[in-house]
């Protein structure tokens, strides 16, 4: 009997127990999907206050997240802590040993949240907040940990960069969804690219520090980076300028760093020079600060399709770098989903597991489109072959959450990932009370259209496509009233759904952000209705 079969059997037994006793509490859809979960009967009604045990030793961010939803006082007993804390010693054997792992137990008389480390404790709180979101809270045991290391986002698109407020909002979203990495690489920040040698002025430095502090509060590693390859002179002065810039960011509190060489060609795309530069920074900056966590490189040759455009030895040249330096990779092409074959090809070339830069749902090459469909196309088995996995989003920060939600779900537990169910849950979480209208709109914004990178998503407007496939040929021969009615109903549904979204858009950040697309969809629906009436 497989592990999954055992879990399913246990789940069935607990469900039957609930039915036998007349329990009415409802299981909560938890995202990302936990590794192990066993539901029981109703535990208690959702409390307004909690009595916390272990608060003095527990991770402060985890406690703050808990108290953001519940008052501290007389109420449900909640014990919180991490491995080694006296408060959670009774469940020490149940805490997963994996990094960021946690154990959650909900019972009628007590809730226990026990992390393997501070991040695990924080993630345990996030899961409990989902379990306790129902009016009636069920008993449950959850043992959980991430399958994929360094899961998150690389803000590396061309075009309008996210605002300060966008990024603050994103970090809270990442924390809720257990994404732990944010790589900073907006092409239009002059101190990232054009003025990479120059230190941030005081005001800008303060803003960067505030962003990093907020990211850390949500257990997100803010990876700050520069893009020097456009005009680096490969001399001591530029090497020293790099270290000086990184030292400024270190003094501001940053502990994760990256260097970008993407989208440069010719003499500036020299693998030997890149490797020497990376090793110089490693020796003269990274090694002098033992608390630095990540050091990442995005090479000039970052996808297989471009291997003929660079020195044949480029990947071999950078493979000799210090093995602790992560190397980013986009797959078989610039825009590609990741499979096992991708990883089997690249990992031996660079002498380490590649760190994925997934160019989805980014739209800087198909800017008139939104990508709002289910997150599909990556092979679950490939996640065991990476050192990290980040997604490049759209310039529309709030709209990007739809895909990032499911990306987080996929990376946490790839073997349990269901694209359709994850997408449905994402639409519900992002537009509660309007999820049906939102889904209708999203399904008309799935495909990328013709583009230079040739990635397509042909499952756009499925209800409309079904009608076209059913009636196009018969209607070419004769008028069919039932066909006209069916098309009118579909277009009317789109018109009404978008009217609902437009009405809500002034007060909703996501709907306000993508309002032009909603208006276009409303006009499409209205025109379709008028055409069928004609």
12 pLDDT above the threshold of 60? no
Q: Give residue-wise pLDDT tens across range 305-352.
A: 999 999 999 999 999 999 999 999 999 999 999 999 999 999 999 999
Give the span between the Cα atoms of 463 and 461, in whole angstroms: 6
Query: Strand 294-298 to strand 49-53: parallel, antiparallel, or no bridges (unpaired)?
Result: unpaired
Torsional sign, CA 387, 392, 398, 399:
negative
Record: fold of 151-417: TIM Barrel (3.20.20)
165 is catalytic: no
188 pLDDT tier (thresholds 50, 70, 90): confident
pLDDT reported for residue 11: 40
Q: Where are the domains of the chain?
A: 3-144, 151-417, 418-534
Nearest to 160 by CA among 382, 297, 363, 328: 363
CB neighbourhood size of 489 (10 A): 13
pLDDT reported for residue 25: 61
Q: Give residue-wise pLDDT tens across range 72-103.
A: 999 999 999 999 999 999 999 999 999 999 99
Query: Strand 36-45 to strand 136-144: parallel, antiparallel, or no bridges (unpaired)?
Result: antiparallel
pLDDT reported for residue 10: 39
Lowest-confidence range among 184-188, 217-221, 268-272, 339-343?
Answer: 184-188
Tokens 């070339």 -> residue:
349
**pLDDT average, residue stretch 150-166:** 95
**Cβ contacts of 166 within 8 Å, gap of 6 or more:** 397, 398
Give the span between the Cα atoms of 62 and 120, in whole angstroms: 9
Give the pTM: 0.93
Instruction: List the CATH code of the domain at 418-534.
Output: 1.20.58.460
N- to C-terminal Cα separation, the chain: 62
pLDDT reported for residue 17: 38
Give the span between the Cα atoms of 227 and 231, in whole angstroms: 9
Which two three-digit tokens encode residue 50? 């909690």
The three-state DSSP-derived secondary structure of 416-469 is HCCHHHHHHHHHHHHCCCCHHHHHHHHCCCCCCCCCCCCCCCCCCCHHHHHHHH
What is the helix, strand, coil percentage profile of the chain, to 5? 45, 15, 40
**pLDDT average, residue stretch 513-532:** 97
189 pLDDT above the threshold of 90? no
CATH number of 3-144, picked from 3.10.20.30, 1.10.3720.10, 3.30.379.10, 3.30.1360.30: 3.30.379.10
8 pLDDT tier (thresholds 50, 70, 90): very low
Exactly one of 263, 279, 339, 508 is catalytic; name it. Answer: 263
> What percent of the chain stands above pLDDT 70?
95
């Amino acid at each position: 009997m497989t592990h999954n079969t055992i879990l399913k059997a246990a789940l069935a037994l607990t469900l039957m127990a609930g039915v036998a006793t007349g329990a009415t509490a409802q299981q909560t859809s938890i995202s990302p999907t936990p590794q192990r979960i066993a539901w029981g009967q109703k535990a208690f009604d959702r409390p307004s206050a909690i009595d916390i045990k272990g608060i003095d030793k527990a991770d402060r961010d985890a406690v703050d997240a808990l108290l953001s939803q519940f008052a501290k006082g007389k109420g449900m007993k909640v014990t919180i802590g991490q491995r080694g804390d006296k408060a959670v010693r009774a469940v020490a054997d149940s805490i997963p040993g994996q990094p960021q792992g946690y154990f959650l137990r909900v019972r009628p008389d007590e809730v226990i949240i026990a992390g393997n480390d501070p991040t695990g404790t924080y993630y345990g709180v996030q899961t409990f907040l989902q379990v306790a979101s129902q009016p009636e809270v069920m008993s449950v045991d959850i043992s959980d940990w991430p399958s994929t290391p360094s899961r998150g986002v690389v803000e590396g698109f061309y075009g309008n960069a996210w605002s300060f407020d966008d990024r603050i909002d994103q970090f809270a979203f990442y924390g809720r969804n257990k994404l732990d990495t944010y790589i900073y690489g907006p092409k239009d920040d002059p101190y990232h690219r054009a003025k990479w040698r120059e230190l941030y002025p005081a005001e800008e430095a303060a803003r960067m520090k505030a962003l990093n502090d907020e990211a850390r509060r949500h257990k997100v590693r803010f990876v700050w980076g520069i893009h020097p390859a456009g005009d680096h002179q490969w001399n001591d002065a530029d090497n020293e300028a790099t270290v000086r810039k990184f030292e400024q960011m270190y003094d501001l509190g940053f502990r994760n760093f990256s260097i970008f060489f993407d989208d440069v060609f010719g003499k500036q795309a020299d693998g030997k020079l890149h490797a020497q530069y990376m090793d110089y920074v490693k020796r003269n900056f990274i090694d002098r600060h033992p608390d630095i966590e990540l050091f990442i490189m995005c090479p000039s040759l970052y996808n297989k399709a471009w291997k003929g455009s660079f020195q044949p030895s480029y990947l071999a040249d950078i493979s000799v770098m210090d093995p602790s330096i992560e190397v980013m990779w986009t797959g078989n092409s610039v825009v590609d989903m990741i499979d096992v074959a991708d990883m089997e090809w690249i990992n031996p070339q660079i002498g380490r597991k590649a760190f994925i830069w997934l160019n989805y749902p980014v739209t800087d090459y198909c800017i008139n489109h939104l990508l709002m469909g289910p997150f599909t196309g990556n092979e679950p088995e490939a996640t065991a072959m990476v050192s990290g996995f980040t997604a490049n989003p759209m310039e529309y920060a709030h709209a990007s959450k739809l895909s990032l939600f499911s990306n987080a779900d996929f990376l946490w537990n790839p073997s349990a990932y269901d694209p359709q169910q994850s997408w449905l849950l994402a639409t519900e979480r992002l537009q509660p009370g309007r999820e049906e209208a939102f889904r209708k709109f999203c399904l008309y914004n799935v495909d990328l259209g013709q583009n230079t990178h040739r990635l397509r998503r042909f499952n756009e407007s499925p209800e409309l496509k079904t009608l076209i496939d059913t009636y196009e040929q018969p209607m070419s021969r004769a008028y069919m009233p039932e066909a006209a009615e069916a098309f009118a109903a579909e277009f009317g549904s789109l018109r009404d759904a978008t009217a609902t979204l437009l009405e809500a858009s002034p007060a909703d950040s996501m709907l306000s952000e993508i309002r032009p697309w909603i208006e276009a969809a409303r006009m499409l629906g209205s025109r379709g209705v008028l055409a069928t009436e004609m």
